[in-house]
Amino acid sequence: MRFISFLIFLFSSLSSIANQFQQLVDAPIQEVGVVELNQLKSNQLAIAMPFAKEIILNPEQRRHFEEQVVVKIELVYTKYSTSPTFNQKQLNQNRLVELNKLLPDLFKNPFWDFELISQTNGNSREECNPMFHGFIFTFRPNSSPTTLAAESSYLQQVVDNLIKQSNNENPKDKLSYDLKTRWDDKIGYVHDTIWKVNEVKQIPPPDFFYDHSLYKDSTVLNIFDRNQSWQNFAVVTDVTGSMSPYIAQVFVWLKQQAEKNNAKYFVFFNDGDNKESRKKKPLETGGVYGTKNKGLEAVMQTAANCMGNGSGGGERQENDVEAILLAQQEYAAADEIVLVADNFESMRDYQFIDKISKPVRIITCGVKKKINIEYLDLARKTKGSIHTKTEDIFDLDKVKQGQKITIAGEHYIFDNGRFHFLY
């Protein structure tokens, strides 16, 4: 019986991958004259194939995918064909099959954007042969001490701005003032109090950031605003590279709800401080920092310490469970855990989610289409919930074997104890 179940699951998985490839080759086509590889950026990489063939010419490029997150894939080919019966769509699908053989993990977590690029310059085999054919990958830049310092500085400026705004709202408590004396013909001398209001400027995001549109993404604030019933919880936040837009929103929310004090404890994690990837072990990765909610500045300082001590980020895994377990241990009275998670990253310690005994409310950051299925599993296992910029998904623990669900137009199936993508 188990063998039959395995065969059914294997067949459905293969069918799902084929459907995924079919969706990709049906994507809109962008026409350009020619793609020049010498114009690739430092966070881009090419895997080449010959004209009209699906053979991978440089498979050694696989090593570059071990510790980087892909945010975009472009399949590049030439519009010209040597035969009127040539099927470009079938070739594109075959090329995806070969790429899947080389990089199977790439298609297990398809959170990247995809584009078809058709080059129009070549008009013969001789002209097309030297042109590039294959895949161009764009990676989310890995963190470095320089970028982490820039993101930490940005967050500090955000907090300083929030404090200035708070001071302006309560001038008699916080601001300095001048006394001005003037003569009034009707009542004599009048003493005016002139309060000095702090100037609050818009803080620009770090110049290096790979996607400035994320700084306009209000996911975290939207979710907290929709779920004001949450009380007595701990907040666990990923502070690895590229999460600063969302960390800033946590601080904005914290300032807004200072009087309610619903969040009693905060944990920040950076996936191991400066530990080498090969030395990171599940639940022993490190780089996890916790603090009681003693106010915005104290919480910000803990986050800054975490960011300053870590170079995590850019890898495909983070130590979410390790951080959740610290929050669970240090604030045992919490009714639930709110996890501010990077949707692009999976959990290094996923196999230990059974150790979590409190509901986890997962704020998924950076979601464009698909939700990371590991977070769906985490929500289901803990009787928690999933939250995107526009939706709240509850009762995942009630999903049964073989049941299909749809979230924001994307389809998933629960099978063999886990969620899977459906295409």
pLDDT tens, residue by residue, 108-163: 989 999 999 999 999 999 999 999 999 999 998 777 777 777 777 888 887 777 76
Taking residues 260-280, what's their average pLDDT? 91
Rounded to whole angstroms, how far apart are CA atoms 32 and 46? Answer: 17
What average pLDDT does the chain have?
Answer: 86
146 vs 271 pLDDT, higher one: 271
User: What pLDDT is attached to residue 206?
Assistant: 61
Task: Render the burial of 75-96: b for 16+ CB within 10 Å, e for the rest.
Answer: bbbbebbeeeeeebeebbbbbb
Rounded to whole angstroms, how far apart are CA atoms 137 and 43? Answer: 8
Rounded to whole angstroms, how far apart are CA atoms 237 and 323? Answer: 8
DSSP 79: S
The 3-state DSSP class for residue 221 equals: helix
Rounded to whole angstroms, how far apart are CA atoms 116 and 135? Answer: 10
Q: How far is CA 312 from CA 81, 250, 298, 363, in A?
A: 45, 20, 23, 20
Q: Which residue type sits at 318?
A: E
Rounded to whole angstroms, how far apart are CA atoms 409 and 367? Answer: 13
User: What pLDDT is attached to residue 309?
Assistant: 87
User: What pLDDT is attached to residue 11?
Assistant: 47
91 pLDDT band, cuts 50/70/90, is very high
Rounded to whole angstroms, how far apart are CA atoms 190 and 235? Answer: 52
Whether the pLDDT of residue 166 is over 60: the answer is no
Q: How far is CA 293 from CA 237, 240, 266, 331, in A?
A: 14, 21, 7, 11
Q: Which residue type sits at 37?
A: L
Rounded to whole angstroms, how far apart are CA atoms 99 and 65? Answer: 12
Residues near 277 by beta carbon (within 8 Å), at least 6 away in sequence = 66, 67, 315
